[in-house]
Amino acid sequence: MKLILRILLSALAVVILAKILPGIGVDSYTTAIIVAIVLSLLNFIVKPLLVILTLPVTILTFGLFLLIINALIILMADSLIDGFQVQSIWWALLFSLLLSFLQSIFYSFLKEDKNT
């Protein structure tokens, strides 16, 4: 149940950012849900491989290259999904930063209160 809520909250974040950022486009709410699912799958499968392959560059840049990897993941999702458009790598970079910020805010609502 929590996984479904996380995907729906990610889709909500995608829709909000598509409305705010002019370089990002999402055709429908269904497309936003598909984007959230594809991004989570790419982050689960492709991102660890990219991190391992680019480890020397990541170490040289003190981890800043991970931002570029996140932008590349967004661009991969753009190429896989028809109703999702990203104009450039710079928009993908800004989108990935703002998406992770919004997701952290939204996911904080899912945490259970452990104070008894």
Whether the predicted pLDDT of 115 surpasses 90: no
Q: Work out the pLDDT band at 113, boundaries 50, 70, 90.
A: low
Under the banding of pLDDT at 50, 70 and 90, the label for residue 110 is: confident
* pLDDT tens readout for residues 3-34: 899 999 999 999 999 999 999 999 999 999 99
Q: Are β-strands 24-26 and 84-86 bridged in parallel, bridged antiparallel, or unpaired?
A: antiparallel
The predicted model gives 73-95 an average pLDDT of 96
Residue 12 lies in domain:
2-108
pLDDT at residue 90 tops 60: yes
Decide if 37 is inside a domain: yes
- 84 strand-pairing partners: 26
Three-state DSSP at 10 gives helix
114 band by pLDDT with thresholds 50, 70 and 90: low
Total domains, the chain: 1
Looking at residue 116, its pLDDT comes to 53
Q: Is residue 35 part of a domain?
A: yes
Per-residue tokens: 42: 């790419």
